[in-house]
Chain A
Amino acid sequence: MQFDEAGYVQEFLRKAGRGQSLPDDLLTRYAITLPASDAEIGAQLKAVRACWTKHYGGSNFAAKAAKLCRAEDERLRQQYDSAMEKASWWQLRRDEQSAAAQESIGVLAAELRRAYGELGVVTAARAGSLAESLGLAQQDAIEAVGQAGLTLVAAADLPQVSPIATFSALQRDMAECAASSVPELVHPASGPFRLLDRYECVGDPQKRLDVLAVEAQIATAERRGNSATDTARRSALQALRTALRDGVDLREVALFHLMKAAEQRARQSAALTAESLERAGLERHDAVALAVMLFDQAQVGQAAGLDQIRKLIRTGGLGEASQIAASLPADSSVRPEAVRLVDEARQRLMTLLAAATEAKAVPDEAEAARLLREAALISAEDAAQALAAVPLPPPANLRAICDGMQVKLYWQAATGHDGDTRYEVYRSEQRTPAAPGDGSVVYRGAEQSCADAHAPVARELHYCVFAVGSGRQSSRPAPAVVTLVPPVTQLQAEAGPAEVTVHWSAHPDVHAVLVTSVAGGRPPVAVPTQGGTGRLTGLAEGETQDIEVVAVYRAPGGAELRSAVAQISATPRSEARPIPRLRAKPVGTGGAVRLLVSWIPVDKSDVRIMRSDAPPRWPFGTWVSHDDMTACGQEVTGRRFTERGEERLEAEVPAGVHHLVAFSIGGTGIVRGHAVAVGITEPVRQLAVTLFASHATVSWEWPDTAQLAEVTWKAGDDADCFVISRAEYRSGGGARVPLGGSPVTIEVRAVVVADGTNFTSPPAVEVTGVTARPEISYAVARSLGMGPLGGRPTGLTFQSAQGCHGVRIQFVARPGPVMPTTSDGTFVLAEKELSLAPGGTAQWPVDASRVKLKRPYWVRCFVVGGEARLLDPPISTLKAS
């Protein structure tokens, strides 16, 4: 007994996993084949359990079955423990199983006898499915069929659909000409025939259902009269001829015809079906076999019909479900359930339709539509019919706004509006439009806004928006009322040396335009107008005129309506002179870099400073239009003030190089003045100074706009300034500043070059904490290096360029290979106070004989008092090794 895991999983686990519980057959579950020894049983149980453990972790059918097997196995082990590993236990199980199977076979035989005993035959498929439902094998089914005294017939291949497209017409014609079957039509009065395996006329086996036979019958029929029966017969035969020419087997047509004729009876009784088939000419054996097959099909179809009813009720097909339920035979076991399902669904549908009608009456079209969508899930047909009677909800939040000479309307889609929803906007002067088409059309489309450019002025305008959609009634109106009183447009002012002229454009229906001017705190003055122009004369140069323009309209009743005020200011100016010199520089204010522009005014013209990335394209003194001026860059705006006779403008501008140009706006036009370039850069950030022996490395974060930096340092009397490029900075790893004895103040400015001029940012400043310490160099004199005591230090020589005073110095020795870094833990060979004149030298004798020094050892000087920095001699003179 070998455990075939793959076969076990395929044949048992996967199949068992599809069911809700495990089959009772323990021997199959444990893959036990008897006879077997105890050892073989034990090994098999171990292998099967390992297989369950291996597969129970998944989520497939095999895993599901493996889980059930493990649970059942646990229960069995608790009950039977090690007995399960004995062959005797399994023989007992097999005997129990056999007894149970015999009992089930008896039950099955009785059932088969009851259902099929009258006819004496049963199909193998039917017997098999009944056996399976009782947990029996196919072999058991055959045994039960034998016990019931039935004959097992193999299922024939029955056509499920009509073999020809014109079957309905053929069926009608055959009924009219009283042909009970196709063989009867083709071979009239030829007696019983067989059809299940092949067509065979029992009385004359030579007969065929072929084109010759059909042609012969057609010829015979054509010789007959033109009665309705003859015509129907010819028509039926011609249909068969067409089918034959199309390659259709007339046996299938004949079989399908018999099946359709017996269909109704097959739902009720196999015996009645057999009898009707036999009457139609089918030989007894075939008639019984076909009747049993049709009866089985009907039983299955009825169960399927209930499922279909449930599905149809869920998907809006209540009508069809109702028809299916009605078509079920009165004695069908599923009919009551089918009728109940249909009735319940119809009741729910009625409730929803009633609620939708109530919502429509509120009116709450959106709620009604929602209820009908729910109803459509039960009966799409009823819901669609009801929905067609529910109007669309009106658009939401309609707003009408006067904008210049037109009215603009805005709205939002309501719940239930979709991509197919369109909107229609109507205007009426007397009342609110009640329905689409009532009033003047303003807009039709899918957008949610529109503009009425032809709106009449000075009267109440009633606007309504309707939602319309295919298959739905249009919505109630969404109304809005507005009165259009448009102000003048395109208001412009031209200033001369002593006059100002204003121009405007007014609505064609304007009654009058009123223009007033205010200047210098004096009362308003009416300005004489003509057409679209008003003119003020005799004005003082430089005095700004604030001009207001109002459009006046007459309402249909004669009332006067005034528009909103349009305002403009203008200052009379003489001919402008160009600014001869413009200056610009960056200034640091509060940590930020700003631009300071200054110029000396030459007249009373309005001076504007424009900036751009490139120099202006016109030469100095060129007269330009207002559009040219604005197109040449951005105006520099900021704090404007006068200082020392100069006009100054302090503004924030982005970092970079800017070309500035002054424009003077006078009474006769705009003239270009002096232009200048300026560079603005952010200061350097994160300035850091690292001190090394003789220099400091200065580093910083560069602003994006600067490629150069100016480094200035000052130490005592020494100072320097240099410019370093980014490349030099990167190459040198920062900027280097020399260190002396004094604290160093370091300033770094970012530099940007514009028109050959360096512009710097505010400085970043750092002061180093270097204290002034004079440097003293020293040298160690040694005795001759002979023997272990040779090479001992004998004297020191000190030298200082800056000189020193009162510096206390220790000369120490330390045994070992490591250089002393302090005088701690060393032998002091000499200690003295040292004073040197600038450039002076001093010599100290050293007696090292009192200290026992064994190589390797080090000697070194340290400052222990006073301020000085000792410069070590070469290592070779300090280390004895």
Chain B
Amino acid sequence: MAQTVCPFCFRRINSSRLWFQCLGQGNVECTKEVDEARVRLTGSKAETFPTFPMPSDRSENRLSSGPASAPCPKCGYKARRRACPECHTALPNELTGSTNAMIGLVGARGSGKTVLMTVAVKELRRNVGRRFGASIQLIADNPDGFTSRSAYQDGREASLYDRGNLPPQTELLAARDGHATPVVLRWQQEKARLFGGNAPDSTLMSFVDTAGEDLGDQDTAFTLKYLAVCDALMITLDPFALPGARARLNLPSAAILVGEDTPLDVVSHITEVLKVEHEVRRRRRIKIPIAVVFTKIDAFYSGLDRGNPIMSTAGLMPAYNNGDGAAVHEHMLALLHEWGASDIDAHMRLNYDDYRYFGVSALGAEPDYVGGMVAPGGVQPHRVEDPLLWLLSKTKTVPVA
């Protein structure tokens, strides 16, 4: 039985026993309706055709992944589209009988998660895909709560890249009916077969933009569910919240969106949740890889030596450059100590087995914080893909060099 996680409702599901979803093309009229299960588990009120399980006589064969199609009980249409048995959201066919990587994205409110996720998703689809010879596509029908992929691209990407508008502060989960809709990407790439030759292989990545304050409320069911199933986690931290770092800059008050104690608080909250949800025993550390991402690093360019690895790029080889990543980690660690934030490193060292620091900039230049506009030169991302590639290397999706 292949256990995987639904990238939309974060329930653990048997990928060999996925349900079917009708396309409404049978002999009898089949109508789209709001699916109560989907509303309850994902908050999405999109109307869909009926979602139904595979016939019981066939589902009992535990050795196969079931039939490729099943007739719709309403209209008789031979449905091939698969859906999550829990939330009834349509799933890509690649999920059948496979696993996928759940990469979480959490951080304090104002630490730049939304901008980072928008730019990282764009970079993955545009530049990283080319670098790895992979096809990376958005697959959710309502990424990040938008009504469609085109609406997401217009509301998030075109808004940021073409119109230069910074996204507004992400609403707390409480204001979003307790749900956050993920951005789901499919990484499709040729991989060597065991007995020679290549075959296309797919991995799904699910990112959820969760406002940091939601973590403060550990009772938030969605957050718990989400963190419990993450295979890897990105934690964004705003260096502007560190007094030692902020002292080196001349920032406008509008740029400081996070309180001074927030970075360590956020990391502590996450640690507590992960320890509980991943059932970490006393005197044990958390096993899942954690990328600690310091955003807005462009503000420190002028103070960094050109030879500093943070100021270089990892190169264009189709693999994660581990040596470069290690160098950046050590330099970020040195910076943390210079900024007087060694308590964050102490916390990470004592609670996590596998973590790495990253310094990234999604915008590349200081935006107009008051006007909410990107710098006149546009979006100039720096190293935003590094944390994702490191985490993907941990799940064996990308090779390591």
Q: Is the A/B pair a real complex?
A: yes
Residue ranges of A at the interface with B (Cβ–Cβ < 8 Å): 685-686, 688, 690-694, 697, 699-701, 729-734, 739, 817-821, 869-872, 874-876, 879
Q: A692-B306, A871-B307, A872-B327 are in contact. Are A733 and B333 (CB under 8 A)?
A: no
Which listed residue (B326, B327, B377) contacts A699, Cβ 8 A?
B377
A697 to B301, CA, bound (A): 12
Is A870 touching B326 in the complex (CB atoms < 8 A)? no
B318-333 at interface with A (beta carbon < 8 Å): 323, 326-327, 330-331, 333
Is B334 touching A734 in the complex (CB atoms < 8 A)? no
Is A701 touching B377 in the complex (CB atoms < 8 A)? yes
User: Min CB distance, B153 to chain A, in Å?
Assistant: 14
Interface SS majority for chain B: helix
A690 to B380, CA, bound (A): 10
Is A731 touching B127 in the complex (CB atoms < 8 A)? yes
8 A-B pairs within 8 Å (CB atoms) are namely A692-B306, A693-B307, A693-B309, A699-B380, A730-B379, A733-B378, A734-B380, A879-B330
Q: A730-B378, A733-B382, A734-B378 are in contact. Are A819 and B308 (CB under 8 A)?
A: no
User: Min CB distance, B296 to chain A, in Å?
Assistant: 14
User: Min CB distance, A668 to chain B, in Å?
Assistant: 55
The 3 A-B pairs of least Cβ separation, nearest first, read A699-B377, A693-B312, A701-B376
Cβ of B263 within 8 Å of any chain A Cβ, yes or no, is no
Instruction: Identify which of B308, B331, B376, B381 gathers the most chain A CB atoms within 10 Å of its CB.
Output: B376
Chain B residue at minimal CB-CB distance from A701: B376
Cβ of B364 within 8 Å of any chain A Cβ, yes or no, is yes
User: Min CB distance, B377 to chain A, in Å?
Assistant: 3
A422 to B298, CA, bound (A): 75
Q: Which residues of A contact B342 (CB under 8 A)?
A: 818
Cβ of B375 within 8 Å of any chain A Cβ, yes or no, is yes
A139 to B245, CA, bound (A): 89
A688 to B377, CA, bound (A): 7
User: Min CB distance, A638 to chain B, in Å?
Assistant: 31
A691 to B312, CA, bound (A): 10
Is B333 touching A819 in the complex (CB atoms < 8 A)? yes
Q: Which residues of B contact A730 (CB under 8 A)?
A: 161, 378-379
B339-387 at interface with A (beta carbon < 8 Å): 342, 349, 364-365, 375-382
Chain A residue at minimal CB-CB distance from B335: A821
Cβ of B337 within 8 Å of any chain A Cβ, yes or no, is yes
Q: A697-B364, A870-B307, A871-B307 are in contact. Are A819 and B330 (CB under 8 A)?
A: yes
B71-127 at interface with A (beta carbon < 8 Å): 126-127
A875 to B333, CA, bound (A): 13
Cβ of B47 within 8 Å of any chain A Cβ, yes or no, is no
A693 to B380, CA, bound (A): 16
User: Min CB distance, B165 to chain A, in Å?
Assistant: 15
Residue ranges of B at the interface with A (Cβ–Cβ < 8 Å): 126-127, 161, 298, 301, 306-309, 311-313, 323, 326-327, 330-331, 333-334, 337-338, 342, 349, 364-365, 375-382
A688 to B365, CA, bound (A): 10
Is B337 touching A818 in the complex (CB atoms < 8 A)? yes
Q: Which residues of B contact A700 (CB under 8 A)?
A: 376-377
Chain A residue at minimal CB-CB distance from B337: A818
Is B307 touching A690 in the complex (CB atoms < 8 A)? no
Q: A693-B312, A730-B161 are in contact. Are A699 and B323 (CB under 8 A)?
A: no
User: Min CB distance, B354 to chain A, in Å?
Assistant: 15
Which listed residue (B311, B327, B331, B364) contacts A734, Cβ 8 A?
B364
Which listed residue (B307, B338, B364) contacts A733, Cβ 8 A?
B364
Is B301 touching A875 in the complex (CB atoms < 8 A)? no
Q: Which residues of A contact B338 (CB under 8 A)?
A: 821
Is A699 touching B301 in the complex (CB atoms < 8 A)? no
Chain A residue at minimal CB-CB distance from B377: A699
User: Min CB distance, A19 to chain B, in Å?
Assistant: 52
Is B376 touching A818 in the complex (CB atoms < 8 A)? no
A856 to B398, CA, bound (A): 31
Q: Which residues of A contact B365 (CB under 8 A)?
A: 688, 690, 699
User: Min CB distance, B351 to chain A, in Å?
Assistant: 16
User: Min CB distance, A727 to chain B, in Å?
Assistant: 10
Q: Which residues of A contact B326 (CB under 8 A)?
A: 874-876
Beyond A692-B311, A733-B381, 9 additional contacts (C-beta under 8 Å) are A686-B375, A690-B301, A691-B311, A699-B364, A730-B379, A733-B380, A818-B333, A870-B307, A874-B327
Q: A730-B161, A730-B378, A818-B333 are in contact. Are A692 and B313 (CB under 8 A)?
A: yes
Q: A690-B364, A697-B380, A733-B382 are in contact. Are A819 and B312 (CB under 8 A)?
A: no
Q: A694-B312, A874-B323 are in contact. Are A733 and B379 (CB under 8 A)?
A: yes
Q: Which residues of B contact A739 (CB under 8 A)?
A: 306
Which listed residue (A693, A734, A876) contacts B308, Cβ 8 A?
A693
A734 to B326, CA, bound (A): 27
Q: Which residues of B contact A697 (CB under 8 A)?
A: 364, 380
Which listed residue (B307, B323, B376) contacts A869, Cβ 8 A?
B307
Q: Which residues of B contact A685 (CB under 8 A)?
A: 376
A359 to B307, CA, bound (A): 96
Is B378 touching A686 in the complex (CB atoms < 8 A)? no
Chain B residue at minimal CB-CB distance from A697: B380
Q: Which residues of B contact A874 (CB under 8 A)?
A: 323, 326-327
Is B306 touching A691 in the complex (CB atoms < 8 A)? yes
Is B376 touching A693 in the complex (CB atoms < 8 A)? no
A391 to B126, CA, bound (A): 83
Instruction: Identify which of A729, A817, A879 gathers the most chain B CB atoms within 10 Å of its CB.
Output: A817
A693 to B315, CA, bound (A): 12
A166 to B375, CA, bound (A): 91
A870 to B307, CA, bound (A): 8
A685 to B377, CA, bound (A): 9
Is A734 touching B377 in the complex (CB atoms < 8 A)? yes
Chain B residue at minimal CB-CB distance from A692: B311
Q: Which residues of A contact B313 (CB under 8 A)?
A: 692-693
Chain B residue at minimal CB-CB distance from A686: B376
A681 to B149, CA, bound (A): 35
User: Min CB distance, B356 to chain A, in Å?
Assistant: 12
Is B364 touching A693 in the complex (CB atoms < 8 A)? no
Chain B residue at minimal CB-CB distance from A739: B306
A817 to B308, CA, bound (A): 18
Is B378 touching A693 in the complex (CB atoms < 8 A)? no
Q: Which residues of B contact A691 (CB under 8 A)?
A: 301, 306, 311
User: Min CB distance, B395 to chain A, in Å?
Assistant: 24
Chain A residue at minimal CB-CB distance from B327: A875
Is A875 touching B330 in the complex (CB atoms < 8 A)? yes
Q: Which residues of A contact B331 (CB under 8 A)?
A: 819, 821
A692 to B359, CA, bound (A): 14
Chain A residue at minimal CB-CB distance from B127: A731
Instruction: Identify which of B161, B309, B365 gathers the most chain A CB atoms within 10 Å of its CB.
Output: B365
A875 to B311, CA, bound (A): 16
Q: Which residues of B contact A692 (CB under 8 A)?
A: 306, 311-313
Is A693 touching B377 in the complex (CB atoms < 8 A)? no
Chain B residue at minimal CB-CB distance from A869: B307
User: Min CB distance, A750 to chain B, in Å?
Assistant: 14
